[in-house]
Structure 1
Amino acid sequence: MTPHDTTERTRSAEPPARYVDNLAEAHGVSGYTKTPDGTLVYAAYDDGTYELQTRDEQLTDGDGDIISPTWLHGRESILAYRDEHGTEQFDLLEIDPETEAIEPVLADRFLNFKARQHPTDPNRIAFVSNRDRSLDLYTLDLDDGAVTSRSEADEPVMGYAWSPDGERLVYQAGTFDDSALRLVDLQLERDDAFIDEPNSEQSFAFTDDGYGAWSEHGIIFTTNHETGYRELAVADGDGDYALRYANGRDKYDPQWTTDGDIVFLEARGGDRQVRRLSDGEVTTIERTGMNTDVQVIDGDVYYKHRSPATAGDVRRNETTVVEEGWVDVQTVAPEEVTYESFDGQEIAARLYRPVGDPIGGLVKAHGGPEAQHYNRLDMVTQTLVHAGFEVLAPDFRGSLGYGREFRKASDADLGGDDLTDVVAGAEYLRERGRTNVGLLGASYGGYMTLMGVGATDGFDAGASVCGVVNWETTAENAREYLGAVLMRKLGGTPDEKPDLYEERSPITYVDDIDVPLLVVQGANDPRVPQSEAEQLVESLTDRDIDHEYLLFDDEGHGVVRTANRIEYITRTVAFFEAQL
């Protein structure tokens, strides 16, 4: 659909249509599973929505995106999620692959996800939902529809694993800060602390939810209690544990193979490597790119692979088995660079260099804040580089992948030293000869953009996508657990820290914005609601400050639909060409 465009501007020449179209059409897979006969079923973008497919046929044609398929053994069916218009209110669906019939399992407009089948009872699953409060762990009887709450922790459930006999569940309570493991005994209906070390995090999940973490070999998880980095540890059923592998690098999403090896992801700059620990020796399966959704199936290691040239293929032991997100235009792989921030702190970054002399510089701030800039296909960055811009993507204070101390450096200081790291990135580009430097980003990167153009004089233009405008209203209006996480990162509630909330909110600095600004928003965004962008745009309009506003009625927290992507990329590149 066409977004609302509240301004008329003179544009420079649009980027080549074929280049933009090719990147916008590269969606990649959104989950996959393998049936007993060896067929891979995966979610792929088709004519406006994600549908379940195999190499030979499309299995679904439903309303909304159908994603994250999981094979249900004993029921000979597929469990999947349905999301309409980016609202992130996932229905659970059961799909018959033979008849292609779709039966709703849970369709109650809550966020229902991270579903895993019981290891011995095919008619039971566990899942995570916000149906009662934050994110809690539940079990569901697929025959009678009975839902039972299982977790009691106040912290959100971010990952879990079934015991091999199905009598217990171990789960991760908490996101990135002070997360702990808890144990649920289904027979005794008890939820007890399991592994909880002070000033550290015990974790299953980064993206893969604790899949395959409990086997007869023990419970595999990560802890940064001893070294400050997420190291591999193995626990028994009583909570006693020992480190299994430590090398001073953050690791994520460990799981067992059937023969007792451990497959995990390891942070290496902008890459998430797929690695395997066997008899004390570590080998690397996939060295480059952002790799997620790891599954050990029939002894093989499958994963979703993203790189600067693909939006998300499925690979098996480094070999592509589903090619869904490849692009056939030239893209640029970034260089790993570092620069010094205001206090001498070294900041790692990815530097994208165009062919020929750059026409300007841009700093790309990542979301999160607990994330980083990964070596994956970033359609806006690639098009900007194709248009002649040099783009720097820094991992500022608070980013993942560099240990606990660096990740927690932005606690109670959002929009403080991390913002100064981003401003230092602009100075790095100017030292490289870029006279005019812009700033862009989405989610937390959008927030950094708004702070960068309002609270500093470090940038000549900015483009914010789904950026936080007012911390107080975001904490009030964002989805339950997200508001709680944000308040924790800010060091307190709005009532407890009123001055900090005001000082670190972009809406405070609207009067100081004296450079052009592009604001992009999805109307269905459950994380940074549309009301945030409306506050900003109203204030910019009242003050006659130069800005553009794109509102997509059928998008959530980001821009997904192909037609919308084309408009978003084209407008963003034209905006920076005109301003820089």
Structure 2
Amino acid sequence: MIHHNSDLIFRLPHVYNWGGGFDLSPDGRSVVFMWNITGHWELYLLPIDQSAPPRALTAGPDSKLFPRFSPDGARVAFLQDQNGDEEYDVHVLDLATGAVINLMPDTPEGLNEWLRWSPDGQWIYYASNREKDFATYAVGVADGSIRRLSHHAASDIMAEPSPDGRYLAVTAQSRGQDNAIYVIDLNTGEEHQLGREYSLADAASPDWSPDSRRLAFVSADHGMSDIGLYDLDTRRIDWLTSGDHEYYAPVWSPRGHRLVYQAHRVGNIDLVHHDLVAGPIFLPLPPGLCNQTHFTPDGQRLIFSHASADRVPDIWQISLIDHSAQPLTQSMPADIDRTQWVQPRHLWYPSLDAGVSVPALLYAPRALPADARPPAIVYVHGGPTGQHENDWYPAVQDFVQRGYVVICPNYRGSTGYGKAFREANRFDLGRGDTNDCAAAADFLAREG
């Protein structure tokens, strides 16, 4: 066992866990993923049956990011910048030869951190600000030609092509903290906003059904982030969830009769397996943050990333038959005892403003004497629109190992607790949210 070492804990390698960090091959036999075992992000290939160890696909001084398999599984597209300038170029790697082509050398504009292939493999979709506002573009794989595809006023974040190749579902920032989904007919260029007939204010995270006729999406219009199903022909919306939790990131099964999505519960991001006939069940997984979910082509397993307070991010799989689950990657060195790290406790405490309760995660050293008053730290997350989840935070574990109690407030403006709470610091930045964080220190002093 290696005892506490600050340098070590901050250098522990892990898989990228926050969206776009890995992709499942079309045949379901392998994953390509971002791994920082060398000290920065490189791409690796791993067979799902673990018949071989991860194989490095890239090398060099610059990080390679957000890999996506081509529809035939023969190539991988990824983003790469130069010397950390965040002016990403789109690259394509041939898996058979190892040759890499830069489709967009010396890109002068900014690109959002995602890529998608067209189903015919001829184009790669991305969002950039090459014409001032962020819009969706396509770059030709054969010749590097660029086409603009979206023409609405909102600022594009990402796009999902329909399996039949006819449509793009584009998520864009629309008004305030709301998003909108624009469905673009690539044959005609016509765009329509999902749910406009119902005055839907917020929609994001679209995922196409296998027949390209329905979109699963997320909306906070009912107060919490809920999962809806949008019928492309009738423009009808059916709601799968009803606001008991915040739900995110729906993914269709290969046959289109089930979905998987995330649920925020007391600081954890759990997975829900929803059969459209039998209903939803929460999958039995360790507490933590489950993300980046993919169905295998046979629909019998999920491949996803998982991290928690005592587990660095890795790629996992779970059987949808018997619910057995295990990691596919093993980023944590074998000689490290992860039981030295502590899981947080979710709690609420009163803010300095009357009538306001603040959610938080509390980390405490394991062996505190009953009469001890240990030093404490209020650890404030960034954003401001974000949240502190049961994820891997090496700084928090370092503090706890040194004997500190750490409280991580999800102050007003944080996600995970409904739209009203998320927007509670709009036009009030630095007052209410600061009061929430200051009250965390009072809470610790009061509770000892």
Q: Does 1:248 align with 2:263?
A: no
Query: Residue type matched to 1:346 in 2?
Result: S
1:499 match? none
CA distance in 1, matches of 2:384, 2:416: 12
Aligned 8 A contact 1:128 1:157 in 2: yes
Structure 1 residues 186 and 50: alpha-carbon distance in aligned structure 2, compared to 1, 3 A threshold:
same
The correspondence for 2:226, drawn from 228, 231, 234, is: 231
> Which 10-residue stretch deviates more, 326-335 or 145-154?
326-335
Structure 1 residues 174 and 102: alpha-carbon distance in aligned structure 2, compared to 1, 3 A threshold:
same
- Deviation digits for residues 207-240 of structure 1 (CA, Å, limit 9, x no counterpart): xxx4556744611012232x31111111111432
1:349 match? 360
The correspondence for 1:34, drawn from 24, 27, 35, is: 24
- Deviation digits for residues 123-155 of structure 1 (CA, Å, limit 9, x no counterpart): 122212222223221122211211111122332
The correspondence for 2:259, drawn from 255, 259, 262, is: 262
Structure 1 residues 215 and 404: alpha-carbon distance in aligned structure 2, compared to 1, 3 A threshold:
farther
Q: Does 1:66 align with 2:64?
A: yes
Query: Residue type matched to 1:382 in 2?
Result: Q
CA distance in 2, matches of 1:246, 1:314: 30
Aligned 8 A contact 2:163 2:208 in 1: no
1:416 match? 431
2:50 match? none
- Deviation digits for residues 140-194 of structure 1 (CA, Å, limit 9, x no counterpart): 2211211111122332222322123211112122177222221212121223323
- In structure 2, the residue corresponding to 1:283 is in which secondary structure? strand
CA distance in 2, matches of 1:39, 1:187: 33
CA distance in 2, matches of 1:34, 1:376: 23
Between the two proteins, the alignment pairs up a number of residues equal to 411
Aligned 8 A contact 1:43 1:52 in 2: yes
1:387 match? 402
CA distance in 2, matches of 1:186, 1:361: 56
Structure 1 residues 374 and 86: alpha-carbon distance in aligned structure 2, compared to 1, 3 A threshold:
farther
CA distance in 1, matches of 2:195, 2:29: 38
- In structure 2, the residue corresponding to 1:396 is in which secondary structure? coil
The correspondence for 2:74, drawn from 65, 73, 76, is: 76
CA distance in 2, matches of 1:275, 1:389: 35
CA distance in 1, matches of 2:84, 2:288: 26
Q: Does 1:23 align with 2:14?
A: no
Q: Does 1:195 align with 2:207?
A: no
Aligned 8 A contact 2:4 2:401 in 1: no
Structure 1 residues 305 and 411: alpha-carbon distance in aligned structure 2, compared to 1, 3 A threshold:
same
- In structure 2, the residue corresponding to 1:265 is in which secondary structure? strand
1:125 match? 124
- In structure 2, the residue corresponding to 1:409 is in which secondary structure? coil
Structure 1 residues 105 and 213: alpha-carbon distance in aligned structure 2, compared to 1, 3 A threshold:
farther
Aligned 8 A contact 1:312 1:325 in 2: no
- Deviation digits for residues 62-109 of structure 1 (CA, Å, limit 9, x no counterpart): 330012221112371111121344443322111122322221122314
Q: Does 1:155 align with 2:154?
A: yes
1:568 match? none
Query: Residue type matched to 1:22 in 2?
Result: L
Structure 1 residues 217 and 272: alpha-carbon distance in aligned structure 2, compared to 1, 3 A threshold:
farther
1:272 match? 269
1:405 match? 420
Structure 1 residues 83 and 294: alpha-carbon distance in aligned structure 2, compared to 1, 3 A threshold:
farther
CA distance in 2, matches of 1:215, 1:89: 36
Q: Does 1:431 align with 2:446?
A: yes
The correspondence for 2:280, drawn from 263, 279, 282, is: 282
Query: Residue type matched to 1:250 in 2?
Result: E
Deviation at 1:17, TM superposition (A): 8.4
CA distance in 1, matches of 2:423, 2:258: 31
- Deviation digits for residues 280-334 of structure 1 (CA, Å, limit 9, x no counterpart): 4212223521122222232221111111122210011132111225653411111
CA distance in 2, matches of 1:198, 1:391: 43
> Which 10-residue stretch deviates more, 285-294 or 332-341?
285-294
Structure 1 residues 193 and 56: alpha-carbon distance in aligned structure 2, compared to 1, 3 A threshold:
closer
Deviation at 1:375, TM superposition (A): 0.5
Identity of aligned residues (%): 23
1:468 match? none
1:336 match? 346
CA distance in 1, matches of 2:129, 2:186: 20
1:375 match? 390
- In structure 2, the residue corresponding to 1:130 is in which secondary structure? strand
- In structure 2, the residue corresponding to 1:144 is in which secondary structure? coil
The correspondence for 2:86, drawn from 79, 88, 99, is: 88
More helix by share: 1
- Deviation digits for residues 462-518 of structure 1 (CA, Å, limit 9, x no counterpart): xxxxxxxxxxxxxxxxxxxxxxxxxxxxxxxxxxxxxxxxxxxxxxxxxxxxxxxxx
Aligned 8 A contact 1:160 1:211 in 2: no
Q: Does 1:100 align with 2:72?
A: no
CA distance in 1, matches of 2:389, 2:326: 21
CA distance in 1, matches of 2:38, 2:282: 37
Query: Residue type matched to 1:156 in 2?
Result: S
Structure 1 residues 202 and 91: alpha-carbon distance in aligned structure 2, compared to 1, 3 A threshold:
same
Aligned 8 A contact 1:82 1:90 in 2: yes
Structure 1 residues 297 and 131: alpha-carbon distance in aligned structure 2, compared to 1, 3 A threshold:
farther
Aligned 8 A contact 1:75 1:122 in 2: no
Higher relative contact order (CA 8 A, sep 6+): 1
The correspondence for 1:218, drawn from 208, 214, 223, is: 214
Query: Residue type matched to 1:64 in 2?
Result: D
Structure 2 counterparts to residues 434-449 of structure 1, below 5 A: none
- In structure 2, the residue corresponding to 1:53 is in which secondary structure? strand
> Which 10-residue stretch deviates more, 341-350 or 391-400?
341-350
Structure 1 residue runs of 5 or longer lacking an equivalent are 1-15, 205-209, 434-580
1:311 match? 312
- Deviation digits for residues 24-58 of structure 1 (CA, Å, limit 9, x no counterpart): 22231132233447133222114332211232421
Structure 2 counterparts to residues 181-192 of structure 1, below 5 A: 181-192=181-192
Aligned 8 A contact 2:66 2:115 in 1: no
More strand by share: 2
Query: Residue type matched to 1:71 in 2?
Result: F
**Root mean square deviation of aligned Cα:** 2.3
- In structure 2, the residue corresponding to 1:145 is in which secondary structure? coil
- In structure 2, the residue corresponding to 1:405 is in which secondary structure? helix
Query: Residue type matched to 1:45 in 2?
Result: N
CA distance in 1, matches of 2:124, 2:22: 18
CA distance in 2, matches of 1:198, 1:291: 32
Aligned 8 A contact 1:398 1:408 in 2: yes
Structure 1 residues 106 and 52: alpha-carbon distance in aligned structure 2, compared to 1, 3 A threshold:
same
Query: Residue type matched to 1:218 in 2?
Result: R
